[in-house]
Amino acid sequence: MELLTEKLSRIFHGLGGKGRLTEKDIDEALKQVRLALLEADVNFKVVKSFVAQVRERAIAAAVLESLTPAQQIIKIVNEELTAILGGGQSRLQPAAHPPTVVMLIGLQGSGKTTTAAKLALHLKHSGQRTLLVAADTRRPAAIEQLVTLGQQLDIPVYNEDTKAKPISICKNGLKKAKELAVSWVVVDTGGRLHIDDTLMKELTDIKKEISPSEVLLVVDAMTGQDAVRAAEEFQAKVGLSGLILTKLDGDARGGAALSIRSVSGVPIKFIGIGEKADALEPFYPDRLASRILGMGDMLTLIEKTQQTFDQKRSEELQKKLQSASLTLEDFLEQLQQVKKMGPLNQLMDMIPGLSRLTKQLPQGLEEKQLKKVEAIVLSMTPEERRNPSIIDGRRRRRIALGSGTTPQDVNQLLNQFNQMQKLMKQFGSGKGHNLLGMLR
C-alpha cells in the first residue's frame, strides 16, 4: 500500500506543477496511474474500468478549464477509489432476536482464529456481550489458541474435545450462548491450506444448522489476487455477507483491497491493521481511499484518541498545558497513552502531510525515539519528574545509566521540555504544541 501511495503522490505532484492541463497531460498521467495499479496487483478489469471512469470525468471542460485542475482530478480519483472499495460503510447486521451469530470462514494462515478474538473484543468495546465458539478442529492448536485469547481478553469461549464434530460444537455453542444471554456469538470454523469439496460441505452444513446472520470470509491481504480468487470461490459455494481483510498494514502492493470488493461483489466489513488484539477496524471505503492517496485519515485518528484517552484526565492535562504547569510525569502518561493507540508511523500516516514524512525516516526510528524518551523519564524519581530543575550532573549520569542512554540524551530531553514550557508560557493556550514535537 505504501508503494502505491508513493507512486500516486508522485504522479499527482507532477500534474500540480503544470498549471492548466491538456487532454494529453491527463492521458499521460492516467497511463502512469494504470501502471502503478497493475504493479500493485490490482485486478486488470478493475484497473481498466477505473481508468476509463476517471478519464471520462477528468476531460470534462469544467476540469480542464479549472484554475486548480490537478486538485479536481485528485478529487475525482478519490471518489472513484471510494466507489471501487464499496462506496459507503457496510456494518454488521444484528439478528431480530439475539444472539446474533457471526460465522468466520477462511483458509489456514489467513489469521481467522486471531480475527475471531479481535472481533469479539471489538463487540465487547461497543458494550455487547459475546461468546466465542471454537469449532476449528482441523488445526490442532486452533482451539487452544482461541481459549487462551479468550482468557486474555476476558471473553468466554465455548469449546469441546478436538474429536467432536464441528457441527455439533456449533450447535451446542449456540445453546450455551442462549443460556449466558449474550448478544453475539462469533464462531471460528475450520480452514485448510486449499479449497476443496470436503471443506465447503462442512461449512455449508454448519451454515444450514446455525443460520448465521453474518458469514464473513477472513482473507490475507498480502496474498493479493489469491485472496480475490478465494473470495470468489467462497462466495459461489458457501455464500458470504462480508469480508475481513487481515494484514493490510503489511500489504506492500495493496491490490487485494482495491480488487476484492469489485470482483467478488462482497463488501469489506473490517480490516486488520496489526497484531494487537484491538488492531481490527471497521472498514470505511472513503478513509482507505484517502490513505492510499496520501491524504491522511483524521477521522480514524480522532476515534482512536477518544477510545484511548480518558476525557476527564484529558481536560486536566489541557488545563496544565494552558497554565504551563505540565510535568514530566504528565508527559510520561501522555506518552504511554499514545503507545496504546498503535505504531507511531500508522498514526502519522493518518495526519495529512505527515505520511510523506514517515517514508523519509529510517524504519522504526519513531518507535525507538518513543522508547528512549520513556526509558529516560522512567529512570527519574517522582520528585525529578515533577521538578526537572533539580536534575544536576550527578542525577543526569544516574538517569542515563538507568535508562541505557547517555547524559547527552537526558540533556536533550530536558532542554526540549524546557523549551516547550517556555512556549506554553508565551502563548498561554498550549496550541501548536504536541507530543511529536518533543521527538524531533
CA distance 243 to 226: 14
> Contact at 8 Å (CB) between 189 and 104?
yes
Residue matched to cell numbers 484517552: 309
Q: Which pLDDT score, from 0 to 100, does residue 439 have?
A: 40
Q: Identify whether 99 is preceded by a cis peptide bond (ω within 30 of 0).
A: yes
Q: Which pLDDT score, from 0 to 100, does residue 432 have?
A: 41
**DSSP reduced 3-state for 386:** helix
**DSSP output for 157-222:** EE---TTS-HHHHHHHHHHHHHHHT-SEEEEEE---SS--HHHHHHHHHHHHHH--SEEEEEEEGG
Reported as type and span, the H/E element at residue 269 is strand 268-272
> Which structural domains are found in the chain, ordered by start?
2-84 (1.20.120.140), 100-294 (3.40.50.300), 301-439 (1.10.260.30)
Q: Which pLDDT score, from 0 to 100, does residue 425 have?
A: 61
Q: Which pLDDT score, from 0 to 100, does residue 223 have?
A: 83
Q: Which pLDDT score, from 0 to 100, does residue 257 have?
A: 83
Q: Which pLDDT score, from 0 to 100, does residue 83 have?
A: 92
Paired residues of 215 in beta bridges: 103
How many angstroms separate the first and last alpha carbons of the chain? 26
Q: Which pLDDT score, from 0 to 100, does residue 302 have?
A: 52
CA distance 230 to 322: 55
Give the CA distances from residue 332 to residues 312, 319, 372, 385, in Å, rounded to whole numbers and listed in that order: 17, 17, 12, 9
CA distance 346 to 350: 7
Q: Do strands 157-158 and 130-135 pair parallel, antiparallel, or not at all (unpaired)? A: parallel
* Angle CA 416–418–424, to nearest 5: 105
pLDDT in tens, 239-287: 999 999 998 876 555 678 888 998 999 999 999 987 888 889 899 898 8
Reported as type and span, the H/E element at residue 132 is strand 130-135
Q: Which pLDDT score, from 0 to 100, does residue 348 have?
A: 56
pTM as predicted: 0.70
* pLDDT < 70 stretches in the chain: 1, 67, 250-254, 295-324, 335, 338-367, 420, 422-440
